[in-house]
């Protein structure tokens, strides 16, 4: 039969009818219960629950569902994270996590439930990247629950983080890059495409550039913000995610000429817009000065590729092309790293190591010159 433990230690007994152990703890005049297959699991639960009660856990806290907790957690994230990041968190939670685990109490969520969630998503055909994002969001939310004393441990810690293989990206050859720039002549986004290839900047960084970022005398461009599009909320100019993202990029004469031409085009656009012009100091705005829709740029980009008969790559692959061609030409890795805004040179080499074929050729020849013996024909005396 059941065995009762002393007060403030909970109750533990075995249920013959269901062949399972039952643990109970009183909190604020309410009894909470845990069922498990083993006595040890129930004892551990009692110990952890009593510890949390001493730390301030209330009965109401034990009844919180994942849906209710995540809503509170996401509202708090709005104070410390970018709007676009919180939007992504909400999207992952509402589309993938909460429909399956939302009605469960935080106290009841076990590693097995989380593994099952990942399995379901995999069977739905979701990619490894999506499952990894699900893991990250759920892990962060449950980590906060531990901090607040609602959970004794984070059950997602016992589940392996899904691995995502780094996908191959396509890049232009030197000849294709030249062909692309020729094909962009006359496009309303000609300068955007030109700078994407010559500066290695990301699309959001390009669309967030202001005229005040250019030092014409020193031929430099100061990257210090990016334009982010937030669903149903419009646009926002936000600082780079990392310290390395804030950087100075040296500009060549041709790039400066391209920017000067863009400035003249913008003067004409201002004159045509008249009172409708909204001054934001943006280098690449709409015809009335407002932030440019990145989808418009991407559509034009795809159209140019098709007309020019070029490979169908992503806009972001222009950045990959730029960085890869710099490395291929022998530009020092540290220089490329700073230009790209990577935090470390190792990030650059890890991502673009495949792009240093010329350096590999030189290394192969150099090592042979150093160590391979040269046959010498001796003449007889």
Residues 275 and 249 in one domain: yes
First to last CA, the chain: 107
Burial of 48 (0-12, 13-18, 19+ CB in 10 A): middle
Report which of residues 62 and 184 the model is more confident about.
184
What is the value of pTM for the model shown?
0.66
3-state secondary structure of 111: helix
Domain boundary among 106, 131, 158: 158
Q: State the Cα–Cα distance between residues 69 and 9, nearest whole angstrom.
A: 28
Is the CB of residue 249 less than 8 Å from the CB of residue 221? Answer: yes
Q: State the Cα–Cα distance between residues 14 and 37, nearest whole angstrom.
A: 9
Q: State the Cα–Cα distance between residues 76 and 133, nearest whole angstrom.
A: 19
Residues 178 and 54 in one domain: no
Residues 219 and 183 in one domain: yes
Residues 55 and 70 in one domain: no
For the stretch 157-161, contacts whose Cβ atoms lie closer than 8 Å and that sit 24 or more positions apart, written own/partner, are: 158/111, 159/111, 159/114, 159/115, 159/118, 159/135, 161/132, 161/135, 161/136
User: How would residue 380 be classed by pLDDT, with cut points 50, 70 and 90?
Assistant: low
Residue 370 placed within a domain: no
Q: State the Cα–Cα distance between residues 59 and 311, nearest whole angstrom.
A: 61
Per the structure, how many domains does the chain have?
Answer: 3
Residue 166 placed within a domain: no
Residue 324 placed within a domain: yes
Residues 250 and 186 in one domain: yes
Relative to beta strand 30-36, strand 214-215 is unpaired
Residue owning tokens 């005398």: 217
| Residues spanned by the domain of 324 | 174-363
Residues 85 and 231 in one domain: no
User: How would residue 303 be classed by pLDDT, with cut points 50, 70 and 90?
Assistant: very high
pLDDT in tens, 30-52: 888 888 889 998 888 888 788 77
Relative to beta strand 3-4, strand 247-250 is unpaired
Residue 12 placed within a domain: yes
Residues 81 and 226 in one domain: no
Residues 47 and 75 in one domain: no
Residues 26 and 148 in one domain: no
Domain boundary among 158, 188, 204: 158
Mean pLDDT of 146-172: 80
pLDDT over threshold 80, residue 363: no
Tokens (6 digits) for 4? 């009762």
CB count, 10 Å around CB of 197?
20
CB count, 10 Å around CB of 299?
12
Residues 260 and 350 in one domain: yes
CA 362 from centroid of its chain's CA atoms: 35
Q: What is the full DSSP assignment across 221-270?
A: EEE--EEEEETTTEEEEE--SSGGGSEEEE--HHHHHHHHHHHHHHHHHH
Residues 25 and 106 in one domain: no
Q: State the Cα–Cα distance between residues 105 and 61, nearest whole angstrom.
A: 9
Mean pLDDT of 293-305: 95
**What is the CATH classification number for the domain harbouring 82?**
1.10.150.130
Helices (H), 38-185: 39-54, 59-62, 66-77, 83-92, 98-101, 111-123, 128-147, 174-183
Is the CB of residue 200 less than 8 Å from the CB of residue 322? Answer: yes
Domain boundary among 114, 130, 158: 158
Closest CA to 195 of 260, 244, 150: 260
Residue 365's pLDDT is 56
**What is the CATH classification number for the domain harbouring 344?**
1.10.443.10
Residues 216 and 86 in one domain: no
């Amino acid at each position: 039969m059941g065995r009762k433990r002393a007060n403030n230690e909970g109750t533990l007994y075995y249920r013959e009818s269901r062949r399972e152990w039952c643990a109970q703890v009183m909190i604020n005049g309410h009894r909470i219960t845990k069922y498990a297959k083993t006595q040890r699991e129930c004892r551990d639960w009692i110990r952890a629950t009593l510890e949390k009660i001493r730390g301030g856990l209330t009965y109401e806290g034990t009844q919180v569902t994942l849906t209710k907790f995540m809503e509170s957690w996401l509202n708090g994230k709005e104070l410390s994270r970018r709007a676009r990041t919180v939007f992504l968190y909400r999207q992952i939670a509402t589309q993938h996590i909460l429909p399956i685990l939302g009605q469960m109490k935080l106290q009841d969520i076990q590693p097995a439930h989380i593994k099952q969630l990942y399995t379901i998503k995999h069977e739905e055909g979701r990619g490894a990247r999506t499952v990894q994002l699900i893991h990250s969001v759920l892990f962060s939310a449950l980590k906060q629950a531990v901090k607040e004393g609602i959970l004794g441990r984070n059950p997602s810690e016992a589940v392996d983080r899904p691995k995502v293989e780094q996908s191959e990206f396509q890049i232009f050859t030197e000849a294709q890059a030249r062909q692309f720039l020729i094909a962009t002549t006359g496009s309303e986004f000609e300068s955007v495409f030109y700078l994407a290839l010559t500066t290695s900047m990301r699309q959001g960084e390009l669309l967030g550039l202001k005229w005040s970022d250019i030092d014409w005398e020193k031929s430099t461009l100061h990257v210090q913000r990016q334009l982010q599009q937030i669903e149903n909320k419009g646009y926002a100019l936000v600082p780079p995610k990392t310290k390395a993202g804030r950087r100075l990029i040296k500009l060549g004469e041709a790039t400066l000429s391209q920017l000067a031409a863009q400035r003249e085009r913008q003067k004409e656009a201002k004159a045509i817009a008249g009172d409708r012009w909204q001054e934001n100091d943006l280098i690449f705005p709409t015809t009335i000065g407002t932030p440019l829709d990145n989808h418009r740029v991407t559509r034009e980009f795809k159209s140019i590729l098709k007309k020019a008969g070029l490979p169908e790559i992503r806009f972001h692959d222009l950045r990959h092309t730029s960085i890869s061609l710099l490395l291929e030409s022998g530009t020092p890795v540290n220089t490329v790293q700073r230009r790209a805004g990577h935090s470390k040179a190792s990030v650059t080499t890890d991502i673009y190591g495949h792009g240093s074929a010329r350096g590999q050729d030189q290394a192969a020849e150099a090592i042979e010159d150093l160590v391979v013996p040269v046959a010498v024909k001796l003449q007889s005396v």
